[in-house]
Amino acid sequence: MSIKVAIVEDDAGFRSLLEQFVTDAPGFRCVGSFGSAEEALRGIPKAEPDVVLMDIHLPNRSGIEATYRLRELVPKTPVLILTVNTDTDSIFKALKAGAKGYLLKRTAPQKLLPAIEEALNGGSPMTGEIARQVVDFFQKNYEADQPELDLSRREWEVLELLSHGYSDKEIALRLHVGYETVRTHCGHIFEKLQVRSRSGAVAKFLASGDRRNLVRK
């Protein structure tokens, strides 16, 4: 079945390009296109998309506000921010509002579709520089004493690759294991490190100072 995508973007020209791109992609279907937060909040629950692409700068209510409201209206539908904003304040407000990923509009088209799939499969795709900002923020602000990271060798391997920005699918290929196996390892890592996201796990890993370099680059 096709992955159903809804688009929230006030720039009519860019919105039209996104619609066409999604429509032309095998295995994807655009089920809703909205120019404002108000239109999106009325239409998305009816359209029942699998994933929402959300701009931040919208007339009247922002995309961050819309994301927060969609978390209440359609809690199982992941929202991916697609924006030009690179400031830390926007990033963390969007993630706090419930966004499952944060992509920049200059993201190469061939990377957008895998990001949509990743979000649908429980991942949190981010443009590389955004992920680095998140990590840098945690490194600068995480001051608590770090306990020894009690992970298995395989969990260390997964965490090391996470720290280098690899997606779950890329990690599966590098370690020659199944995608679901990687997700299971990530779940165990999050639980052991008492974090709730990839960025949190990577930040704790970097802050710990433990570098085992188990995986060849």
Binning pLDDT at 50, 70 and 90, where does residue 205 land? Answer: confident
Tens digits of residue pLDDT in 72-86: 999 999 999 999 998
Q: Could you give all domains of the chain from N- to C-terminal order, each with its CATH number?
A: 3-127 (3.40.50.2300), 142-208 (1.10.10.10)
Binning pLDDT at 50, 70 and 90, where does residue 70 land? Answer: very high
Range with top average pLDDT, 14-18, 88-92, 120-124: 14-18
Tens digits of residue pLDDT in 42-63: 999 999 999 999 999 999 999 9
Per-residue tokens: 73:
């209206």
User: Residue 209 pLDDT > 80, yes or no?
Assistant: no
Averaged pLDDT for residues 124-135 = 86
Portion of the chain with pLDDT greater than 90, in percent: 59
Compute φ and ψ for 31, nearest 5 degrees. -110, 0
Coil, strand or helix at 103: strand
Coil, strand or helix at 52: strand
Collect all residues with Cβ–Cβ distance below 8 Å to 48 and sequence separation of at least 6.
Answer: 4, 31, 74
